[in-house]
Copies of this chain bind each other. A is one copy, B any other.
Amino acid sequence: MKKIAVLGYGVVGSGVVELFYKNKAKIEKNTGKELELGYILDLREFPDDPYGDKVVHDINVILNDPDVAYVAECMGGVNPAFQFVNSCLEAGKSVATSNKQLVAEKGDVLLQTAKEHDCNFLFEASVGGAIPCIRPLHTCLAGNDISAVAGILNGTTNFILEKMFCDKMDFDVALKLAQELGYAEREPSADIDGHDACRKVCILASLVFGKHVYPDSVYTKGIRDITLEDVELAQKFDSAVKLIGSVKRLDDGRILPIVMPMVVPGDSLISHVDGVFNAVMVWGDGFDKTMFYGRGAGKLPTASAVVGDIIDCAKAEHTITTHQWAPSANADFIAGMDAFVAPRFLRTSAASADIYETAAKSLGLTVEKSAENGCIISQCDNDTAAAFAKAVADAGVTVFSEIPVMAD
């Protein structure tokens, strides 16, 4: 009988316990092993909880019990999660985590520790919540050369943008609604300024391109500046505004990881991903493109991914070698925003189509769509986009916003 320990008995941790007991027979059949919940580590007591007798306050109880083979880390944050997880791995106990901050900041170290001790550090839940994307990336798609990953990696901002899009809410009103519904924190910066999506981009980039990408290497812009007018103009162009996290390999071999609001054309399935749902699109040489969609957060959805990883830990006899990356990518590996190229969406004061056409022509660009208060121009780098905006402004038109357009 192998024991599972759960670190942190908050929303996700309690979801893991609930789902484990609900589907215990199925999970045991699946792993071919008898499993038991051994301990729940938390600072608090839970006297009225059916599993309150499993609660311990000292990680050493777990570390010193040789029957604990699998650990679900659901504490969040880097400290003390990092020390706890690292110690578990050093003791040969495999760990499944939902903690994206931990993976984004310490993934390389923890993967190395797991490898040295022939156990596993898995983190399907850290990107896209319930959505199976980490495992398919390094198993199902392993015969391919993957060139890019992009998607909607934060449900809170997607909910806010949809409310602006469908219900014509201003940003502040939509944010307040998200807070009332429990989708956004009272201090919403981690979501709306893109930091949460940034961590997920780090994890995807590290896994796909094989070297650890740290959060401070990722150009990150949130959705605070997006206005209802931007969203309405995008809608006129049969497009939606989404917060996109993406990483792409450039022609020179470097990678460009970014998080920013983008205008997504209606013919991309990404533009139809609504509410708190997440989606991850992947491009590769054999399969062309594939997308994974589902709930990016929430108690049971996140627990679903953690329990799936615990099952994999229980099935694996050794370290899963495809689930590895090397330590920190150096600066030569990660490109800056000077390498960013995309079509651009501009919202302006009232202007004639001529003004856009003339400005575009002078820069070798084409106007792909235009309306009385904005346009979409063909792909260009940031300097050229700035030159276009200046040319339009020089013709007496105010430029209110410039948003890159996502290519599918």
Residues on A facing B (Cβ under 8 Å): 15, 19-20, 22-23, 26-27, 30, 32, 124, 130-132, 135-136, 138-145, 267, 269, 272-274, 284-295, 298, 300-301, 303-308, 310-312, 315, 317, 321-322
Q: A140-B308, A142-B308 are in contact. Are A273 and B284 (CB under 8 A)?
A: no
Q: Contact check: which of B22, B136, B274 meets A285 at CB < 8 Å?
A: B22
Contact residues in B for A303 (Cβ distance below 8 Å): 143, 286
Name 15 extra pairs, CB < 8 A, besides A30-B142, A140-B308, A143-B308: A19-B143, A23-B143, A23-B285, A23-B286, A140-B305, A142-B308, A142-B311, A143-B311, A286-B301, A286-B303, A287-B300, A288-B300, A291-B291, A315-B322, A317-B317
CB-defined A-B contacts under 8 Å, sample of 9: A19-B143, A26-B145, A132-B141, A143-B307, A143-B308, A269-B272, A285-B300, A287-B304, A287-B305
Contact residues in B for A272 (Cβ distance below 8 Å): 269, 272
Bound: A15/B287 CA distance, A: 11
Contact residues in B for A287 (Cβ distance below 8 Å): 130-131, 294-295, 300-301, 304-305
Q: A32-B321, A269-B269, A295-B287 are in contact. Are A304 and B143 (CB under 8 A)?
A: yes
- CB A314 to nearest CB in B, in angstroms, measures 10
Q: A286-B303, A289-B294, A295-B288 are in contact. Are A139 and B135 (CB under 8 A)?
A: yes
Residue of B with least CB distance to A135: B140
Q: Are A141 and B304 in contact (CB under 8 A)?
A: yes
- CB A236 to nearest CB in B, in angstroms, measures 19
Contact residues in B for A22 (Cβ distance below 8 Å): 145, 285
Residue of B with least CB distance to A26: B145
Bound: A269/B277 CA distance, A: 11
Residue of B with least CB distance to A136: B132
- Copies of this chain, whole number: 2
Q: Are B144 and A304 in contact (CB under 8 A)?
A: yes
Q: Contact check: which of B132, B139, B141, B304 meets A286 at CB < 8 Å?
A: B304
- CB A350 to nearest CB in B, in angstroms, measures 32
Contact residues in B for A321 (Cβ distance below 8 Å): 30, 32, 315
Q: A20-B143, A143-B308 are in contact. Are A269 and B290 (CB under 8 A)?
A: no
- CB A221 to nearest CB in B, in angstroms, measures 26
4 tightest CB-CB pairs across the interface, nearest first? A143-B307, A132-B140, A286-B304, A290-B294
Q: Are A269 and B288 in contact (CB under 8 A)?
A: no
Q: Are A130 and B308 in contact (CB under 8 A)?
A: no
Bound: A293/B301 CA distance, A: 19
- CB A201 to nearest CB in B, in angstroms, measures 20
Bound: A338/B267 CA distance, A: 38
Contact residues in B for A291 (Cβ distance below 8 Å): 291-294
Contact residues in B for A315 (Cβ distance below 8 Å): 321-322
Q: Are B135 and A288 in contact (CB under 8 A)?
A: no
Residue among A15, A22, A308 with the most chain B CB within 10 A? Answer: A308
Q: Are A142 and B290 in contact (CB under 8 A)?
A: no
- CB A275 to nearest CB in B, in angstroms, measures 10
- CB A322 to nearest CB in B, in angstroms, measures 5
